[in-house]
Amino acid sequence: MKRFLSLLVVAILSGMFTLGGYKMFLETETVVVKESESKPNVIPTSYTVTNSNTALPVSSIDFSLAAEKTVNAVVHVKQYGISRTPRNLMEFFRNGGTQERRIQGAGSGVIITEDGYIVTNNHVIEGATDLEITLNNNKSYKAKIVGTAPQSDIALIKIDADEKLSYIPFGDSNSAKIGEWVLAVGNPFNLTSTVTAGIISAKSRDLDESDDKIQSFIQTDAAINPGNSGGALVNTRGELIGINTAITSQTGSYVGYAFAVPSNNAKKIIDDIIEFGGVQRGILGITGGTINPKAMEEYDIPVSQGVFVSSVAENSGAKKAGLLEGDVIKEIDGLPIRKFADLTGYVNSKRPKDIINVKILRKRKELVLPVTLSKYKIQKYNIDDVGVEVMNPPKDYLKNFNLDHGVVISKALSSRMKRYNLEGLIISEIDGKKVKNVIDVKEILDNKYKDEDITISLVDRNGKKREFVFQ
């Protein structure tokens, strides 16, 4: 019995020591805090009561209808070509002659009629020997080029389909507003039938004032990448308001800035090509620029937006209508003119002999003058534009080259041409036509426009004939 009691005491003491050790060394304290029911003190940065009937939240905007109406009318354009000449003078002298290279490019196009007329960018189809068009239903057709407008980067092509095609109707790009939702439809990176959404970020955007191409773009933040060129920019009603053309990027991919040719300009070009076989450009007949603070101070101009007229061309529509140097153009046909790109964008949607109403500010008085647009005459080539100076060959000089015709390059004019040591070489042909003297060169170039390529045949000091294309 005593032994049992001793064991019991030992067991109780062991349990007490074990429990005490656990409490001292192993157990952690747990504190339960009741969740506070107080709300944070939030101070709004602004507070405006709006009528829900006049402003729709972004989540309520549905792009599906516009996408459904347009995706079948945007096509994949594949162009194939053969490059038979060096791309530049460096290749010309390194390779020692012409080489054939098969090239392939891809872009997008927009069907604008049910019988197969398609608008795209000129740079998408430029240099093509074959064009293949793939519809959204995977049917493919060969296309032919109807006409091009390189200065506006617009081209019209056509396919002969065995069915009536879905097409996108033109909208009014002048009515499009900054902040308006738009969709870009195209084939970026060969991903066919891609739709992206964004807003119109700006209008009448001029990307490079030094470029002689016509510029008055719609800027959007809808994602556009290589392959989207020639695709559609549409509003939420599914109307075509622009032809996607370019992006501004340091990487070559989309970074938020994309640009489209306004639909009004594209439609006018297409109508001209179909009706006249080429673009009919009307011009106002002035030189000038966007008003800036310096001009405001120097000429005492009381407005900060508009186009300042620095000169008026003789015999132009502007001259005949009474525009003067120093006038400020504020509106054309009721459309506000804030900068020079607004003016060029609108005028380029018109034809010669069209009459536009120009509101000007002259000595702080407003006048409205009806101006009949003049016809734009494209400046023609001069041999200086090629970057060289030529002369008739001295007696017996051509015998050194085994030739009986040609002109001698006497001087390189441009810094680019000076690098190639061209002095003394012979130009034997231009566009396949033999040249015997400087007059022949002038006559050929007088019939060439600056948006056309020139093929020049050179004979080097070894008597070897080579060709390159001057663009």
Among residues 76, 108, 152, 153, which one is catalytic? 153
Residue-by-residue DSSP string for 429-444: EETTEE--SHHHHHHH
Does residue 167 sit within a domain? Answer: no
Give the type of residue at 348.
N
Of the two residues 151 and 73, the one the predictor is more confident about is: 73
pLDDT of residue 19: 41
In sequence order, what DSSP letters do the residues of 281-339 get, joined into one string?
Answer: -EE--EEEEE--HHHHHHTT-S-SSSEEEEEE-TTSHHHHHT--TT-EEEEETTEE--S
Residue 146 sits in a domain whose CATH number is 2.40.10.10
Which residue among 97, 132, 159 closes a domain?
159
pLDDT value at 60 more than 70: no
Same domain, 362 and 289: yes
Are 244 and 317 within one domain?
no
pLDDT (tens digit per residue) in 370-426: 999 998 766 566 666 777 888 898 888 888 888 889 999 888 877 667 767 778 889
* Catalytic-role residue among 123, 249, 385, 451: 123
Residues 325 and 288 in one domain: yes
Structurally, how many domains does the chain consist of? 4
Where does the pLDDT of residue 321 fall: very low under 50, low under 70, confident under 90, or very high at 90 and above?
very high
Percentage of the chain lying above the pLDDT 70 cut: 77
Residue 426 in domain: yes
Structure tokens, 292: 């800036």
**Both 270 and 184 in a single domain?**
yes
Question: What CATH number is associated with residue 312?
Answer: 2.30.42.10
On the question of pLDDT at 169 being above 70, the answer is yes
Does residue 22 sit within a domain? Answer: no
More confident position, 97 or 325: 325
Pair 183, 257 in one domain: yes
Same domain, 268 and 182: yes
401 and 321, same domain (yes or no): no
Asked if residue 364 lies in contact with residue 302, where contact means CB atoms within 8 angstroms, the answer is: yes
Parent domain of 123: 64-159
From 201, 229, 374, 457, the catalytic residue: 229
177 and 153 in a common domain: no
Q: Are 435 and 404 in contact (CB under 8 A)?
A: no
pLDDT of residue 213 exceeding 80: no
Q: How many residues does the chain have?
A: 471
Tell me, yes or no, whether 139 and 178 share the same domain. no
Residue 28 inside a domain? The answer is: no
Can you tell me which residue has the tokens 């019988």? 115
339 touches 203 (CB < 8 A):
no
Least confident of 68-77, 85-94, 132-141: 85-94
At residue 46, the pLDDT reads 32
Considering the domain boundaries, does residue 50 fall inside one?
Answer: no
Choose the final residue of a domain: 349, 375, 401: 375
Same domain? For 286 and 304 the reply is: yes
Mean pLDDT, residues 70-98: 67
Concerning whether 123 is annotated as a catalytic residue, the answer is yes
Domain boundary among 276, 301, 328: 276
Contacts of 14 (CB under 8 A, 6+ apart): none
| pLDDT at 2 (0 to 100) | 46
Is 264 inside any structural domain?
A: yes
Q: Per residue in 354-382, pLDDT tens?
A: 999 999 999 899 999 999 999 876 656 66
pLDDT per position as a tens digit, 123-143: 999 888 899 999 999 999 999
Tell me: the pLDDT tens digits for 176-186?
A: 999 999 999 99
Q: Is residue 31 part of a domain?
A: no
Q: Extract the tokens encoding 141.
A: 């057709």
Mark whether 267 and 178 lie in a shared domain: yes
pLDDT for residue 393: 87
**Whether the predicted model's global pTM rises above the 0.85 cut:** no
Question: Is 72 found in the same domain as 149?
Answer: yes
Residue 10 domain-assigned?
Answer: no
